[in-house]
Amino acid sequence: MHIQSIFPPVSKADWLAQVAKDLKGAPLESLHWQVSEGVIANPLVAAEDLPSPLYPLSETPNNWEITEYVFAEDAALANAQALEALRAGAEGICFHLNTPPDEAFFSVLLQDIYLDYIGLHFEGPVVAENPSLILALLDMEARKRGISKTNLRGSLHYAPLQQAARTDWRFLADFVHMARVEFPNFKVISIAETDILAPEASLSDLLIHAQTYIKKLSELGVSPSVTAAAIQFNVQIGVYYFVEIARLRAFEILWLNILKGWSAPLEAPVIAAVFNPAAYSDAVFTNMIKATTMAMSAALGGATQITVMPYDEGREHLTEYPKAFARRIARNVQHLLKMESNIHVLNDPAAGSYYVEHLTHQIARASWEKFSAAQ
pLDDT of residue 196: 56
pLDDT of residue 132: 96
The model's pLDDT over 160-217, given as tens digits with 9 standing for 90+, comes to 988 766 789 999 999 999 999 999 999 999 999 875 556 667 899 999 999 999 999 9
Can you state the percent helix, strand and coil of the chain, rounding each to 5?
55, 15, 35
Alpha-carbon span 345 to 361, nearest angstrom = 25
SS (H, E, C) 200-239: HHHHHHHHHHHHHHHHHHHCCCCCHHHHHHCEEEEEEECC
pLDDT of residue 350: 93
| Low-confidence stretches of the chain (pLDDT beneath 50) | 1
pLDDT of residue 5: 67
pLDDT of residue 169: 94
Fold exhibited by the domain 48-374: TIM Barrel (3.20.20)
pLDDT of residue 216: 96
pLDDT of residue 200: 62
Cis peptide before 53 (omega within 30 of 0): yes
Q: Are 56 and 347 in contact (CB under 8 A)?
A: yes
Q: Are 94 and 67 in contact (CB under 8 A)?
A: yes
Report the largest interatomic distance among the alpha carbons of the chain, rounded to a whole angstrom.
Answer: 75
pLDDT of residue 195: 58
pLDDT of residue 3: 55
What is each CA distance from 258 to 60, 224, 266, 304, in whole angstroms? 21, 10, 9, 19
